[in-house]
Structure 1
Amino acid sequence: MSTNGAGERDLRVLKSKRDASRYQILVAIADRQPAVSQQEIADTVGITAQAVSEYVQELTDEGYVETQGRGRYTVTKEGVDWLISRTDDLRDFARFVAEEIIGHVETETAIATDDIAANESVTLSMIDGTLCATPNGSGSVTAIAITDANEGQDVGVTDFEGLHEYEIGAVTILVVPEIRNGGSRSVERETTTTLASDHDYVAVAGTEALATAQSAGITPDLRFGTASAVPEASARGISVLLLVTENRLSNHTERLRENGIGYELVDERG
């Protein structure tokens, strides 16, 4: 049968409940042979033990399974060949779906920098950490809009061409002592304000860190979930100053390392 571009493939195992059950039963026997409980197979496949018995008898009659006494079965060479052929068909079909179907319908969402019409070519860029679409697809990264959008609205885009190239945002970590070690009082206001002026965002983790930002007249951009948010912001090209209380430091540095993001440490602990 034709699968609209996937080639001539026998996909009855997908279309027929009977063939799907036969396939799963053969796999279950091959996985457990020679000691195989029909109830185990039934639980695995999701059918009754009586149905398993009937299928096993049918597979035995066709030469796909050999019975070696009650509860002892093995898959024959013919049965293995049948499994391999159906598995190859499924693998090829899955590859076709992944590459030819899903690959072509993959979409992203961007913010329109101007009015955009559906099917219009657009240029994609990362602005302040957000994917943006601009009419006239003449940039290094382009896509096709799948929806109409006015300036500032979200717009669906697909059929991407090119590769985003933008720098990872710098991360500086200002370590704030815990309250028993002096807390925010141990951090010079000028240190905080100077560092903040060199970064796009300010994030705080811990009460002492929040107090340090507030004492410098800074309203944090990020206060919660910073262990995840800071690496994500940096990966989108945003530079971040992270004020973190010392007892939360290791969690944040570990997450940055896991994401391959470097950082500069400014330690205000005495």
Structure 2
Amino acid sequence: MNVLLSRKDAMRLLIISELVLRKETNQRDIARKFNLTPQAISEHFKELVDEGYIRVIHKGFYEVTEKGTEWLTKNLFDLHIFSEELIKKLYSKSIVAIASGDIKEDDRISYWYQDGFIYAKKNKTGNGIALTSASDGEDVLIKPLEGFEPPKKGEIIVVKVPDIGEGGSRKINYGEFSKLIKDNPKKIVVAIGVEALVACRKIRVEPIFFGSKEVCIEASHHGAGVIAVCTESLLDNLLVSLVDEGLNFKIVSFNLNA
């Protein structure tokens, strides 16, 4: 990181970078850009030529040598590593939310949990600052200014489906099952067991199937409601996991024989 500690090296990096980016640039252009006097920029160029970092093409115009390219590459890489670590550190204290309405960078905003996600909207007395601009529904990066209420655990409704030996998906009252889904449009639907998967598909719902138990648990911890459609022989395993995680649930059955 010597390039940040030495004014000479910092200016050297800027000059070489300009020559790489703009091959037709000259001393006068660079002096004007960095607000340097002709005498000062001339001294910098003289040192760069003497040390082999640049060479003269014709009067006032220069190109970067291989030595200069290697020096620039090394120092830019060091700067990249430094800035990347710094950005990660800063962003680790930030939150990504979904914009509710249009938001501009530096707007004061309020952010909150809803249905398992964090939302943000403009609010002059809010609890955060927008670090990026976003249109309604877009992702927005926010800087928290104060704490906010963590999400309550999402409601879990467990729907029992008979095992195939007891009739499987054929033994479901689909009128009641369909009504439950329609009455809870924001709840995530997961299916545990093939019989449960088929039951969902019969009412034209494609549930989360692979990793469904883990999704159920994680979604509830984030405040999202879940309808867990579960084959009866797999029910005990699911309930043990929910109890271990401290999650509340209720069990319903739409068995035609119930």
Determine if the alignment matches structure 1 residue 177 to structure 2 residue 162. Answer: yes
What corresponds to 1:144 in structure 2? 129
Determine if the alignment matches structure 1 residue 159 to structure 2 residue 144. Answer: yes
Contact 1:203 1:223 in 2 (8 A): yes
Amino acid at match of 2:122: P
Amino acid at match of 2:147: G
Q: Which of the pair has the greater relative contact order for Cα pairs under 8 Å at 6+ separation? A: 2
Alpha-carbon shift at residue 160 of structure 1 (Å): 3.6
Q: Residues of 2 paired with 1:257 and 1:102: CA distance?
A: 36
Contact 1:170 1:238 in 2 (8 A): yes
Change (3 A) 1:223 1:156: same
Contact 1:228 1:255 in 2 (8 A): no
Alpha-carbon shift at residue 102 of structure 1 (Å): 5.9
Alpha-carbon shift at residue 129 of structure 1 (Å): 2.3
Structure 1: give runs of 5+ residues left out of the alignment: 1-100
Indicate the SS of the match to 1:203. strand
Amino acid at match of 1:182: G
The count of aligned residue pairs is 167
Q: Residues of 1 paired with 2:225 and 2:98: CA distance?
A: 21
Amino acid at match of 1:245: T
Change (3 A) 1:159 1:189: closer
Q: Which runs of structure 2 are paired with 1:73-84 in the superposition (5 Å)? A: none
What corresponds to 1:52 in structure 2? none
Q: Residues of 2 paired with 1:102 and 1:151: CA distance?
A: 27
Determine if the alignment matches structure 1 residue 192 to structure 2 residue 156. Answer: no
Give the % identical residues. 29
What corresponds to 1:39 in structure 2? none
Q: Residues of 1 paired with 2:167 and 2:91: CA distance?
A: 57
After superposition, give the CA deviation of every residue in 1:206-250 in whole Å (9 maximum; x if it has no partner). Answer: 2111221223x2413423221111122223333222111123223
After superposition, give the CA deviation of every residue in 1:122-164 in whole Å (9 maximum; x if it has no partner). Answer: 110223322111112434xx21222222332211112341322
Q: Which runs of structure 2 are paired with 1:204-223 in the superposition (5 Å)? A: 204-215=191-202, 217-223=203-209
Contact 2:190 2:216 in 1 (8 A): yes
Amino acid at match of 1:249: L
Amino acid at match of 2:181: A
Amino acid at match of 1:227: K
Q: Residues of 2 paired with 1:104 and 1:230: CA distance?
A: 28
Q: Residues of 2 paired with 1:207 and 1:247: CA distance?
A: 11
Amino acid at match of 1:228: E
Match of 1:248 among 219, 234, 251: 234
Structure 2: give runs of 5+ residues left out of the alignment: 1-87
Q: Residues of 2 paired with 1:214 and 1:190: CA distance?
A: 14
Q: Residues of 1 paired with 2:244 and 2:205: CA distance?
A: 28
Moved over 4 A (4+): 101-105, 267-270
Change (3 A) 1:157 1:163: same
Give the TM-score of the pair, scaled to structure 2.
0.56
Contact 2:105 2:131 in 1 (8 A): yes
Indicate the SS of the match to 2:136. coil
- Please, what is the CA RMSD of the aligned residues? 2.7
